Structure 1
Amino acid sequence: MTRTGARLTGIDMARFLAYCGMVLVNFRLAAEVQPAADLPSLITNALEGRAAALFVVLAGVGLALGRPDAVTMVKRAAFLMGAGLLNLLIFEADILHFYALYFLCALPFLRASGPVIWGVIVALLIASVAIHAGLDYDQNWDWDSLEYTGFWTFPGFLMHSFFNGWHPVLPWLAFLLFGLWLGRLDLADRRVQLRMLGLGLLAAGLGAIPGQLVSDPELLPLFDTAMIPPGPTYLVAASGSAAAALGAVLLCAPVLERAGLGAWLTAPGRQALSLYIFHILFGMGLLEALGLLGGSLTTTEILIYSLGFCVLSAIYARVWALAFRHGPLEALMRWSTDRRRPA
């Protein structure tokens, strides 16, 4: 296997890992299953805010490796914005329209040096803290129903997109830029992979410490590692866990390939966009059709359902990949955004 091939294989596997984590979190959210003091809840709690962060970091890695031009980036952003806004009609926690904004905001930094990227990341953290001090994070939210009012107005859209949405640009753009920086490393080098694993675990651990030391409820959001609201310690901890997860998968990729699992793990990773919509339309749709929403499932039952759906996703993606090079939505995005599309 070539150096480039090894690198891309591990990244695809990591993307599938992020997808599985997202399925576990989103299905529990959709089914309104209340966390409990048991192993299934511990697993899902650990993934909340981490799986999505890994997805965004991997998007940055993909930008570093693919090096798309500005025109292609803008077109892909437009495609994702359209798909995300449509998805919002049925799933309020959509992340695709946020990706569109991340891509647009990252345009000036695609060729920036490492120090500049890190400077922007730090600036995003500072700006995020400052905006939280000046605005009401709870504005427009009904936390009991998890509904956001006023999104389809211009002020509401800006608030949701940049400040208090599920994955706001301030500070989630930092994940994409961190991935952009990671993607410039020699990810096929075992020493780099080990450093990512070790330093990532260290960052994840250090990021969790301040939240254990602060007892003031007004200060806790700034020092907690919870996804909502996304404070600086959450950014540090989630970036660390993302780097550690990617490093671990890259280390394990050759072993998984030799075990014959490579194609089964990379195929769904290469169709993450299609599977994202697939898990909403079919995974959550099946829960609704079976009348399993509203907290009727236990934590164990929703975990088993989620894992089963991940297996089904892998089988579907593998079968699809035998006939087609790209997933259905990936092919549509490439067709509609590639400026060198043949007549």
Structure 2
Amino acid sequence: MNERIEGLDVARALAMFGMLIVNYTVITHTSTEGDHFLAIFMHLFEGRASALFVILAGVGLTLLTKQAYLTQEVTLLAKKRRDIQKRAAFLFGLGLLLYLIGWTGDILHYYGVYLFMASFVFQHSSKRLLVGAGSLIVFAQLAQIKWDYLAGWHPERPLLEYLDFWTAQGFLRHLLFNGYHPLLPWFSFLLIGLVLGRLLQRRQWRKPLCWWSIFVLISVETLARYLQHNSTSWLDADSAFFLFGTGPIPPNIAYLLSNTASSILLIIIVLWLCEKWGQTIILQALAYTGQLTLTHYVAHILVGVTILEVWGRTSQQSLRFVLLFAVVYFIISVLCSYVWRKQYKRGPIEWCMRKIIQ
């Protein structure tokens, strides 16, 4: 169990690294033109880091509620539900605070809603959770086709500025349908994570999950690219990308399948690595970093973005600069995490959350 939990922490740290690359690329308005191979490398992280975070949240929730799920005892279920809802309220409030100060790409307020919803379903069977996840995915795809996915976004700055976020209608539209991580269909990632957390507790499931993930990932990516380039007889290029692209916007069926597969594959690989070499200083430092991801998420906004602004590096930067900045920032974060965890059990934001929700 210890290696399994440390493996999840290492996976969170790697997800954070991907998040740094994606967010700093967006913040600096980096163009992907010029360096083809580096652009391909950067695109590998687009949308996958956030999906991995949410799936890991589901896995962690399974471990947190394991006893309540197994016993189905009413009192214990109610206690776990309250604990989850307190965390959800904290994350939702913190996320809105970050949005208020200018971080419009926030994921924490979405996390709060995911957790609140999960507090009502974590005790259900794996079959029900998977049916729920599949239903969300299909319904979200139909909604993207039926309704205007760019509603609410600035016509001259689509997917960069949301005009009516602070109105009731705009907030709900952004939260449920066409924000960066809308409930439809992103909550399906958390439901899948709940089921994955149960399967990973049985060692015999790892190898089948690994091979199925590889098969789904290769199949979906191959089919998606084929359909994008060979559907011109009945679709225009924009519609083909909208329906068959595997990027995070819009989060269509191809994106969800591809990112679920890559997330499961990475988690299993990291679990194997931690079982073999979990005591090495590098993996231990990464595990400490993963344990402080909430603090690092806030810090990469308040510290990392501030550095870029003071440096005058928030527009038209090269891919090489962004990647170098993200790597250096991540290494410093890992070193700080290692030093901090040698002295303290929790990170500053994690400590605040625990004190507030107690």
Are 1:137 and 2:158 matched, yes or no? no
Q: Percent identity?
A: 32
Structure 1, 39-48 or 282-291: larger mean CA deviation: 39-48
- CA–CA separation in structure 2 for the residues paired with 1:240 and 1:186: 15
**Residue 172 of structure 1 pairs with residue 186 of structure 2:** yes
Q: 2:95 aligned with 1:84, yes or no? A: yes
Find out whether 1:154 has 2:168 as its counterpart: yes
1:232-276 C-alpha deviation (Å, 9 max, x unpaired) = 111000000100110111111134324332321111100110000
> 277-286 or 250-259, which moves further after superposition?
250-259
- Structure 1 window deviating more from structure 2 (141-150 vs 246-255): it is 141-150
Alpha-carbon separation, structure 1, partners of 2:200 and 2:48: 24
Q: Which residue of structure 1 aligns with residue 132 of structure 2?
A: 120
Q: Which residue of 2 aligns with 1:280?
A: 301
The answer as to 2:219 corresponding to 1:182 is no
C-alpha distance in 2 between matches for 1:185 and 1:221 = 33
Q: Which runs of 5+ in 2 are unaligned?
A: 66-78
Q: CA RMSD in A?
A: 1.5
Check 1:15–1:188 CA distance in 2 against 1; reply closer, same or farther (3 A cut): farther
Contact 1:12 1:270 in 2 (8 A): yes
Question: 1-side partners of 2:46 and 2:201: how far apart?
Answer: 26
- Does the CA contact (< 8 Å) of 1:193 and 1:251 recur in 2? no
Structure 1 residue identity aligned to 2:312 = G
Look up the equivalent residue of 1:84 and give its one-letter code. Answer: G
- Structure-2 separation of matches of 1:201 and 1:40: 23
The Cα offsets for residues 165-204 of structure 1, whole Å up to 9 and x where unpaired, read as 0000000001000100000123472x43333332222222
Number of the residue aligned with 2:59: 61
Partner of 2:322: 302
Pairing of 1:248-327 with structure 2 (within 5 A)? 248-295=269-316, 297-327=317-347
1:19 aligns with 2:31: no
* 2: CA distance, partners of 1:137 / 1:334: 37
Distance 1:188 1:49, change over 3 A: same
Alpha carbons of 1:113 and 1:188: their partners in 2 closer, same or farther (altered >3 Å)?
closer
Structure 1 stretch displaced more, 31-40 or 43-52? 31-40
Give me the TM-score of the superposition, normalised by structure 1: 0.93
The CA distance in 2 between the partners of 1:38 and 1:305, in whole Å, is 19
The answer as to whether partners of 2:289 and 2:337 remain within 8 angstroms in 1 is yes
The answer to whether the 8 A contact 1:188-1:250 is kept is: no
CA distance in 2, matches of 1:306, 1:269: 16
Q: Name the CA distance, whole Å, in 1 between partners of 2:202 and 2:333.
A: 27
1:35 aligns with 2:47: no
User: Does the 8 A contact of 1:60 with 1:177 survive in 2?
Assistant: yes
Q: What is the identity, as a one-letter code, of the residue corresponding to 2:340?
A: W
**1:172-211 mapped onto 2 (5 Å cutoff):** 172-187=186-201, 189=203, 191-211=204-224
Give the conservation status (yes or no) of the 8 Å contact 2:3–2:278: no
Alpha-carbon shift at residue 92 of structure 1 (Å): 0.7
Query: Residue 136 of structure 2: SS of its match in structure 1?
Result: helix
> Which AA in structure 2 matches 1:153?
T
Do the aligned partners of 1:57 and 1:175 also contact (CA within 8 Å) in 2?
yes
CA distance, structure 2, for counterparts of residue 336 and residue 252 of structure 1: 35
Give the secondary-structure state (helix, strand or coil) at the position aligned to 2:239.
coil
Give the AA of the match of 1:275: H
Q: Distance in 2 between matches of 1:304 and 1:183?
A: 34
2:355 corresponds to: 335
User: Structure 1 residue 144: deviation in Å?
Assistant: 5.0
Counterpart position of 1:341: none
2:258 counterpart residue number: 237
Q: CA deviation at 1:115?
A: 0.8
CA deviations 1:273-304 (Å, max 9, x no partner) are: 00001111111110011001111x21111101
Partners of 1:169 and 1:118 lie apart in 2 by 16
Aligned-partner Cα distance in 2 for 1:144–1:21: 28
Q: How far apart, CA to CA, are the structure 2 residues paired with 1:248 and 1:303?
A: 24
The match for 2:71 is none
Normalised TM-score (structure 2) = 0.89
Q: Partner amino acid for 1:332?
A: C
Q: CA deviation at 1:104?
A: 1.6
Give the counterpart letter for 2:219 in structure 1: L
Letter in 1 for 2:13: F
Partner of 2:105: 93
Q: Aligned partners of 1:117 and 1:163: how far apart in 2?
A: 21
1:219, CA displacement in angstroms?
Answer: 4.4
The 1:256/1:27 distance shift into structure 2, 3 A limit, reads farther
Structure 2 Cα separation of the partners of residues 84 and 257 of structure 1: 33
Asked if 2 retains the 8 angstrom alpha-carbon contact of 1:201 and 1:240, the reply is yes
